Amino acid sequence: MLPAGVRIRELDPHADSRGVFTELFRSSWELDVRPVQWNAVRSDANVLRGVHVHLRHSDYLTVPCGKAFVGLHDMRHASTTAGLSTLVELGDDSPCGVTIPPGVAHGFYFTEPSLHVYAVSHEWDPDDELGCRWDDPELGIPWPCTSPHVSARDASLGRFDELALLVNAALDLA
């Protein structure tokens, strides 16, 4: 089960003697994300990025090289899946793209050197980049790691309950 509005789209790799071609995005796919910015991020093994949540923008992401576990938590108290936490595996062995709507907290754990490519529906804005500690027990994401490498910024994020108050107050005003 996924949080409401989160969608997984299987991608179709085409392999031949030269390698593999995979379409990552088409504007004709109904993803609820009309990209205005694309980003590519390389991560080493045992790296965890997040947990972040956005109030305005949606994400569409895929992992064309390597493997990642995407942790999701629905923070929208009015959602039919409010409070749901789950883990989705993405990787080059079974290519998929995932769409993440505003109000769904997410983080990424990489088990091997990886590349993830993502699009956002609004240009990056630090005021739309909220977060909490990846290992907060209230977050409820069953990460497959105990001591990942995280950025100094992500290591300094606050508690889940503090984030939940901010997110729901902002979403109530929207």
Residue 172 has φ and ψ, to the nearest 5°, of -65, -30
| Per-domain boundaries in the chain | 7-173
- Which has more pLDDT, 37 or 169? 37
Residue 6 binned pLDDT confidence (cut-offs 50, 70, 90): very high
For residue 126, pLDDT beyond 90 = no
pLDDT score at 162: 95
The pLDDT of residue 133 is: 97
What is the per-residue pLDDT for 169? Answer: 86
For the domain covering 7-173, report its CATH number.
Answer: 2.60.120.10
Q: How much of the chain, in percent, has pLDDT values that exceed 90?
A: 82
Which of the two residues, 172 and 82, has the higher pLDDT score? 82
Question: Which stretch of DSSP H or E encloses residue 164?
Answer: helix 160-173
For 58-74, what is each residue's pLDDT tens digit? 999 999 999 999 999 99
pLDDT of residue 32: 81
The mean per-residue pLDDT over the stretch 44-70 comes to 96
| DSSP calls for 15-76 | EETTEEEE----TTS--S---SEEEEEEE-TTEEEEEEE-SS--EEEEEEESEEEEEEEE--
Mean pLDDT of 12-26: 91
The predicted model gives 95-121 an average pLDDT of: 96
Query: Mean pLDDT across the chain, nearest whole number?
Result: 94
pLDDT at 127: 87
Banded pLDDT at 124 (limits 50, 70, 90):
confident
Per-residue model confidence (pLDDT) at position 52: 97
Residue 174 has pLDDT above 70, yes or no: no
CA pair distance 119, 135, nearest whole angstrom: 26
Closest to 26 (Cα-Cα) out of 119, 90, 163, 94: 119
